[in-house]
A and B are shown apart, each in its own frame.
Chain A
Amino acid sequence: MSCTVRIASPLHSYTAGAAAVESPGASLAEVLGDLERRFPGIRFRIIDEQERIRPHIKLFVNTDEARDLTARVHGGDTVHVICALSGG
């Protein structure tokens, strides 16, 4: 069972325009590793050099926020990668 990863629109250029992709990862760390293999460069836009979620990025597993990459992800879950937006 895989999870669905919904990607913030500012990162769609990495996923060839796809707003959602499937991933077999069982944790956020695995999901992001899988994304990086398929869409090189995307992980660095989400995670900084200290392995922390960038402060303008928010990760949710279903409706709950994740503050680090250890959060578990189950089949059928949806991981949301959300980016602070600036437009008004």
Chain B
Amino acid sequence: MTLTAGERARYQRHLALPEIGAAGQEKLKAARVLVVGAGGLGSPAALYLAAAGCGTLGLLDCDRVELSNLQRQVLFDSAKIGRPKAEAGGERLASLNPEIRVVAHALELKAANVCAVLADYDLVLDGSDRLSTRYLVNDACVIMQRPLVSAAIHRFEGQVMTYVPGRGPCYRCLFPEAADGVVANCAEAGVLGVLPGVLGTLQATEAIKLITGVGTPLLGRFLTYDALELSFREFRVQRRRDCAVCGETPMITEPRDQKASPPTAEPGVRRLTPQALATLLGPGAAAPPPLIDVRERWEFDTGHLPGAVNIPTSELPRRLGEIPRSGGPVFICRSGGRSLRACTMALEAGVASAANLEGGMLAWAAQIDPQMPVA
């Protein structure tokens, strides 16, 4: 795939690198790369890959641009608020480099569509914000033999690792499984805006190295970054013979969806609808139950039910003694997932009857109090 005169001018600084040169740039032009998640990680990764001349660049995201995204998602500007991320981001990439082909995938990646989407690409970058999507993408890449550069962020920390079929461990070898919600996401825990800039740029670096064949990729090497210390650490990771997807006897032979949402029932936990809780808290109620709001402090401060006590889930194990053993305490969070786990912990700690507000404060705001602000 030869370069035009315009491309030679645009990529002159690459052509000046003997390690890349015209041959490497032609490989970039022929490359087909999919960026999963047009968020904090996907923004810099996609921008740099577009600028570098990645010939076909797919951008996949099912969300729309929100004001709170702009603190770190440099693919977008204020005029794009409300637009589908894949489309708005695609326009930005095409504007940055009209020489490349940009494909916008404004859809949610599922087991039913992941193979069809990946079939058009040679390399995948995962910067999604859900563990279920991370496993779906990893499994599909293993099964379809596609290299994957996976990164993730949390507060001031980041992680990145590269997987190449047959040449090292996959994401499941590193973390065999994890359900959504087991770790707080950026919306819950916060994230330093510049952090994904570092990790997303590392992903783009790995992609360019894999495409051009230069350097040493992060195979079997798990890299972590701590922005507060400004330190990188590298760990050796082995492929697991018992890995569920890339092991010797894989149990996962086709992509599958994890549970899309947190479980809605646990043994012994009472389920309380917003309407039922409103009745318990209403003017005629004899003894309103204690309310335990397990969201993070800043979420609680945005808006909470009168009388609710804030015990974030991260503090719950050492603050279980503060929960009334009787009176049927009601646990509350944003959407009902964290509070359900809190109920289970409370029951194990001897609380007589724990109830979970189903759907959390989002459901309360939707069904009972539209004025209730929910972070």
A42 / chain B contacts, CB cutoff of 8 Å = 317
Chain A, Cβ-Cβ closest to B179: A56
Of the stretches A7-15, A22-30, A69-77, the one at the interface is A7-15
Is B257 interfacial (CB 8 A cutoff)?
no
Beta-carbon contact of B40 and A88 below 8 Å: yes
Beta-carbon contact of A85 and B318 below 8 Å: no
Beta-carbon contact of A88 and B41 below 8 Å: yes
Chain B, Cβ-Cβ closest to A12: B314
Beta-carbon contact of B183 and A84 below 8 Å: yes
Contact among A60, A65, A80, A88 for B152, CB-based, below 8 A: A88
* Total count of chain B residues near the partner, CB < 8 A: 51
Beta-carbon contact of A14 and B317 below 8 Å: yes
Beta-carbon contact of A10 and B314 below 8 Å: yes
| Chain A-chain B contacts (Cβ-Cβ < 8 Å), number | 109
Beta-carbon contact of A86 and B134 below 8 Å: yes
Give the complex CA separation of A42 and B318 in angstroms.
9
B318 / chain A contacts, CB cutoff of 8 Å = 14, 40-41
Chain A, Cβ-Cβ closest to B40: A88
Of the stretches B22-30, B185-193, B270-278, B301-309, the one at the interface is B185-193
Give the complex CA separation of A24 and B304 in angstroms.
43
A40 / chain B contacts, CB cutoff of 8 Å = 317-318
Beta-carbon contact of A9 and B156 below 8 Å: yes
CB distance from A53 to the nearest CB of B (A): 10
B329 / chain A contacts, CB cutoff of 8 Å = none
Tell me the chain B residues, 236-251 only, with Cβ under 8 Å from chain A.
Answer: 236-238
* Total count of chain A residues near the partner, CB < 8 A: 28
Is A82 interfacial (CB 8 A cutoff)?
yes
Beta-carbon contact of B314 and A13 below 8 Å: yes
Against B, the Cβ 8 Å flags (1 = close, 0 = not) of A37-60 are 000111011000000000111101
CB distance from A4 to the nearest CB of B (A): 12
Give the complex CA separation of A55 and B243 in angstroms.
11
Contact among A41, A80, A85, A88 for B183, CB-based, below 8 A: A85
Give the complex CA separation of A88 and B152 in angstroms.
5
Give the complex CA separation of A83 and B189 in angstroms.
14
Give the complex CA separation of A88 and B182 in angstroms.
15
Give the complex CA separation of A65 and B128 in angstroms.
25
Residues of B within 8 A of A (CB): 37, 39-42, 126-131, 134, 151-159, 174-178, 180, 182-186, 189, 191, 196, 222, 224, 226, 228-229, 233-238, 312, 314-315, 317-318
A sample of 29 cross-chain residue pairs with beta-carbon separation below 8 angstroms, ordered by A number, consists of A9-B157, A10-B183, A10-B189, A11-B314, A13-B315, A14-B317, A19-B226, A40-B318, A41-B317, A42-B317, A55-B177, A56-B131, A56-B183, A64-B235, A65-B238, A84-B183, A85-B157, A85-B158, A86-B131, A86-B183, A87-B40, A87-B129, A87-B185, A88-B37, A88-B41, A88-B126, A88-B129, A88-B151, A88-B196
Residues of A within 8 A of B (CB): 8-11, 13-14, 19, 40-42, 44-45, 55-58, 60, 63-65, 80, 82-88
- Not counting A80-B233, A82-B222, a sample of 8 additional A-B residue pairs whose C-beta atoms are within 8 angstroms of each other reads A9-B157, A14-B314, A19-B228, A65-B238, A85-B158, A87-B40, A88-B41, A88-B42
